[in-house]
């Protein structure tokens, strides 16, 4: 017979809205109390709250999560149930996607504006992130449309267009302060990932490299192409190198090429994700910013770096 799981209900909202109220929590109690409740506490009043859910089976938790989300469908509140041993709640490895996760943009789409092919490239990007196209083939097809673009535009786009996702700085700084290794793993381009990693203090980074010749993009990418399986491999490699259990790892992303690493991590979070990713992930953040990943690990707002 399956053993009951250690599980915690976590409610989070956007910090600037503070939409989480006692009335929201009270609305959930009729669903929670029949199975029993453990310790309940505010992680950050108005933003994040958690309650232990002792002795529940996997199937019971899945049904409970659907019911809880239905009750709080209207307010901008994320409802998640995090399972795992309490000693592994705070993860020791973060593996993060970059584009539309750690930063707000898709850099290839920004380049496409300068090349005059934005609509063509954006359409391919959307299909690839929804899982309708193989990531590697879609990347090569899009980059080919950038051939002849001046390479100096990369720096211009980084300085003028690239913005950090709210909560990114706090997420990385807080996890590093508490001893975690933070890795940026992107299917985008190393020109941007190197700068974002240095800016936020990531311990490591990897991404694809654009080919440049004579000061212009050639329209090619240096092999190997880093896609869905490369992200999973990075998570597994770092887990082994750091001598961690899978339960001690956290992965976050938004696109179909993140699915494998999200499934393999101890805590895989779909962040403002494409529908196929949000549907597949056990944990998802639709309303909060990246500090929600800290609340999911049991951090309080007072502990943030």
Quick: pLDDT tens for 80-117. 999 987 778 999 999 999 999 999 999 998 999 988 89
Segment 37-53 shows an average pLDDT of 94
* CA nearest to 292, candidates 44, 29, 21: 44
User: Within its chain, how far is the Cα of 47 from the centroid?
Assistant: 19
Check if the beta carbon of residue 106 is closer than 8 Å to that of residue 126: no
- pLDDT at position 134, please? 83
227 has a pLDDT exceeding 50: yes
Q: Is the pLDDT of residue 212 over 70?
A: yes
Measured CA distances, 49 to 20, 27, 54, 67, 300 (Å) = 8, 14, 16, 18, 9
Tens of pLDDT, residues 160-171: 999 999 999 999
How far is the C-alpha of 150 from the C-alpha of 268, rounded, in Å?
Answer: 38
Identify any residues that bridge with 209 across adjacent strands, giving them in sequence order.
222
Going from N- to C-terminal start, the domains of the chain cover: 1-83
Q: Angle CA(56)–CA(285)–CA(137) in degrees, nearest 5?
A: 115
Q: Is 1-83 assigned to CATH 3.50.30.60?
A: no
Q: Percent of the chain scored above 90 by pLDDT?
A: 77
pTM of the model: 0.93
Q: How far is it, in rounded angstroms, from Cα 10 to Cα 69?
A: 11
Q: Do 19 and 75 form a contact (C-beta atoms < 8 A)?
A: yes
């Amino acid at each position: 017979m399956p053993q009951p799981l250690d599980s915690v209900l976590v409610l989070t909202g956007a910090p600037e809205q503070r939409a989480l109220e006692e009335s929201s929590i009270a609305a959930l109690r009729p669903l929670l109390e029949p199975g029993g409740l453990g310790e309940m506490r505010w992680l950050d009043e108005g933003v994040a709250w958690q309650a232990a859910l002792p002795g529940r089976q996997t199937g019971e938790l899945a049904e409970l999560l659907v019911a809880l989300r239905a009750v709080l469908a209207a307010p901008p509140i994320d409802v998640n149930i995090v399972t795992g041993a309490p000693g592994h709640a705070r993860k020791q490895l973060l593996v993060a996607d970059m584009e539309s996760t750690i930063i707000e943009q898709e850099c290839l789409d920004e380049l496409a504006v300068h090349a005059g092919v934005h609509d063509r490239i954006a359409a391919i990007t959307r299909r690839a992130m929804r899982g309708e196209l193989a990531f590697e083939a879609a990347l090569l097809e899009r980059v080919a449309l950038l051939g002849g673009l001046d390479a100096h535009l990369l720096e211009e786009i980084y300085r003028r267009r690239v913005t950090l996702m709210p909560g990114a700085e706090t997420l990385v700084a807080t996890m590093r302060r508490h001893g975690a290794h933070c890795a940026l793993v992107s299917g985008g381009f190393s020109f941007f990932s190197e700068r974002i990693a240095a800016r936020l203090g990531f311990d490591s980074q990897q991404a694809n490299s654009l080919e440049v010749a004579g000061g212009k993009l050639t329209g090619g990418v240096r092999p190997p192409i880093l896609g869905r399986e490369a992200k999973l491999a990075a998570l597994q490699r770092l887990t082994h190198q750091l001598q961690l259990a899978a339960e001690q790892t956290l992965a976050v992303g938004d696109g179909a090429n993140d699915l494998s690493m999200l499934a393999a991590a101890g805590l895989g979070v779909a962040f403002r994700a494409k529908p196929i990713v949000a549907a597949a992930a056990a944990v998802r953040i639709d309303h909060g910013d990246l500090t929600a990943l800290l609340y999911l690990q049991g951090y309080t707002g007072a502990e943030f770096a």
